[in-house]
Amino acid sequence: MTEPWGPIKVSVIDVERCPAEISGAPDYTALWALVREHGRPRGMIRLPFEHEVLSRGELARTIATLPLGTAQPPLERPSTRGLPAITVVIPSLLARSASLDACLRSLAQLDYPEYEVIVVDNRPAGSPRVELEGARVVCEPRPGISAARNRGLAEADGEIVAFTDDDVLVEPAWLLALGLRFRTHPEEACVTGMILPAELETAAQVGLEEYYGSLGPRSFEPVSHRLRVAPGRRALLRPATVDAFDDAGRLQRSFSLYAAGSFGPGGNMAFRTRTLHALGGFDLALGTGTPARGGEDLAMFARTAWHGHSLGFEPAATVHHHHYGDDDGLRRQIEGYGVGYGALLTALVLEDPRHVGRMLATVPRGVRAMGHGYRSKLDTTQPDPRNRELARLELRGILAGPAAYVRSRFRCAP
């Protein structure tokens, strides 16, 4: 980076308990904080540490500039009647023991009446068995996160199965927010939540946030996603557009079905167990641990909408993700995202050729959107050359995705 860089302090501020001050010691350059009111996200603030501390007054003045948003009931534990039992599934190679232990400790603090935690040991057959406090461990020797998630699905007893990763920390109200959403929206087959960084201590961690624009606006309004025109002969050459409606039925935004990341993150997603079984689970040829390297979560979002189901987004269901701390890890991650995206598009077409016409109809809008995004990242006048390198890696990955998926399909064949 050509500009002076320093770590950013990540925090959560509850308006009702705004701290007297937040320290930037020893060397934080800025504060990046999620602001909550009555337990629900209101917005994000970013303030430089011009002095060693930010006072309550400075915080309050910045918080006052955030929009109020639509009125939502406080996120508090109501009567447990009607809340669904939830199974939390965590696929893991057990290589990040400290992160997994921290994840399990955060899950132990959940405020939810009925849930279980399953860790799927995705190491090769013959690996020594392990026991983990606070979780039931099951083994899935087939490589790949999809195989691990499907094993967790097969073992799940809950009406809802929620998925997260072994490098994630969950908020105590995570399952409560998901459970309430499923209870009040019985038409939704899937609910995703918000992912925030657990820390921004290195240039690579900040680089991931800035590359995808995550340090800018995020969505803080709960919405329900529905495919505008269902598959059918009359829709063969119609764009596959998804509409997002708020709880009052007002249209908030629209996006292409093939921009499946707009549904939410794969590291914070939950499904009605029966629906996920009916859809056949995750594609074994997609995801980390396979040549496709990713895309299994986004493909499942697209498939869920394609089959006529609604998908919700609940920002109060918040988790914190530990990003890669080094540049090599960041490069591998971005290239892997590209490969996974190209692979998931291939997977959708092979599963249902009707996607071809819908994709072709979506091309003009998609090319304009992607072109604008990549032009800005590849702009040689921007101060950070990192984004140009990452954009090239991601584009190269997208082009390699179809062949990677075909290789993965052959490898997964019985």
Domain stop point among 302, 324, 346? 324
What is the structure's pLDDT at 217?
A: 44
Of residues 361, 348, 346, the one with CA closest to residue 234? 361
Containing structural domain, residue 30: 8-63
CATH code at 275?
A: 3.90.550.10
Q: What is the pLDDT of residues 86-134, one digit of tens each?
A: 999 999 999 999 999 999 999 999 999 999 999 999 999 999 999 999 9
Q: Are residues 129 and 172 in the same domain?
A: yes
CA dihedral defined by 363, 400, 262, 192, rounded to 10 degrees? 150
Residues 6+ apart with CB under 8 A from 147: 122, 140, 284, 289
Q: Are residues 263 and 354 in the same domain?
A: no
Q: Are residues 277 and 246 in the same domain?
A: yes
Q: Are residues 175 and 33 in the same domain?
A: no
Q: Are residues 288 and 139 in the same domain?
A: yes
What is the structure's pLDDT at 366?
A: 65
Domain stop point among 293, 324, 355? 324
Q: What is the pLDDT of residues 14-67, one digit of tens each?
A: 999 999 999 999 999 999 999 999 999 999 999 999 989 999 999 999 999 998
CA 147 remoteness from chain centre: 19
Give dist(CA 70, CA 39) in Å, integer.
14
Asked if residue 383 has pLDDT above 60, the reply is: no
Q: Are residues 238 and 381 in the same domain?
A: no
What is the structure's pLDDT at 37?
A: 93
* Structural domain contains residue 75: no
Q: Are residues 312 and 336 in the same domain?
A: no
Which of 260 and 243 is assigned the larger pLDDT?
243
Mean of pLDDT values over 332-356? 96
Domain stop point among 259, 292, 324? 324
Q: What is the pLDDT of residues 213-247, one digit of tens each?
A: 664 447 899 999 999 999 988 888 899 999 999 99
Our count of domains for the chain comes to 3
Alpha helices in 136-265 (DSSP H): 145-155, 174-184, 203-211
Give dist(CA 21, CA 51) in Å, integer.
12
Number of Cβ within a 10 Å radius of residue 56: 12
Q: Are residues 319 and 357 in the same domain?
A: no
